[in-house]
Amino acid sequence: MQHFLTWLTGYHPYLPSLITITVITVFLIVINRITLKRLSKNQGRLLRQQLFMIIVTFIGVVAILVSLPVSDAIKGQIFSLLGIVVSAAIALSSTTFVGNAMAGLMLTGVKVFKVGDFVRVGDHFGRVSERGLLHVEIQTEDRDLTTLPNLFLVTNPTKVIHAEGTVISAEVSLGYDISRKQIETYLIEAAELCNLESPFVQVISLGDFSVLYRVSGLLIDVKKIITSRSELHKNILDSLQRGGIEIVSPTFMNTRSFNPNHNFIAPSQPLQKTAANPSDVEIESILFDKAEQAETLSYLSQKLKRISIGKEKLTTLLGNTQNENDASKLQHRIEHLAAIEAKLATVMSEMDKGQKSKK
Structure confidence by residue, pLDDT tens digits, 300-336 = 778 888 888 888 888 888 777 777 777 787 888 888 8
User: What is the pLDDT at residue 63?
Assistant: 77
DSSP 210-228: -EEEEEEEEES-GGGHHHH
| Cα distances (Å, whole numbers) of residue 190 to 71, 180, 197, 202, 210 | 82, 15, 12, 14, 21
- Give every residue of the chain whose pLDDT is below 50, as ranges: 1-2, 4-5, 7-9, 11, 253-254, 256, 279, 281
| Cα distances (Å, whole numbers) of residue 306 to 270, 301, 310, 311 | 51, 9, 6, 9
Beta bridge partners of 33: none
Pairing label, strands 158-160, 197-206: unpaired
Query: Rg of the chain over CA atoms, in angstroms?
Result: 31
Residue 6 is classified by DSSP as H
In tens, the pLDDT along 343-355 reads: 888 877 777 666 5
User: What is the pLDDT at residue 188?
Assistant: 92
Residue 160 near residue 113, CB atoms below 8 Å: yes
User: What is the pLDDT at residue 333?
Assistant: 85
Distance CA 186, CA 202 (A): 13
Beta bridge partners of 120: 125, 159
Distance CA 265, CA 238 (A): 10
- For the chain, the residue count is 359
Distance CA 314, CA 308 (A): 10
Question: Hey, is 131 helix, strand or coil?
Answer: strand
H-helix segments, the chain? 2-11, 15-41, 46-66, 72-92, 99-110, 150-155, 180-193, 225-242, 250-255, 283-287, 289-320, 324-358
For helices 46-66 and 15-41, the axis angle rounded to 10 degrees is: 180
pTM attached to this predicted model: 0.53
Give the helix/strand (H/E) hosting 281: none
Give which of 115, 271, 258, 253 is closest to 190, Cα–Cα: 271
Give which of 56, 131, 106, 93 is closest to 291, Cα–Cα: 131
Give which of 151, 86, 162 is closest to 121, Cα–Cα: 151
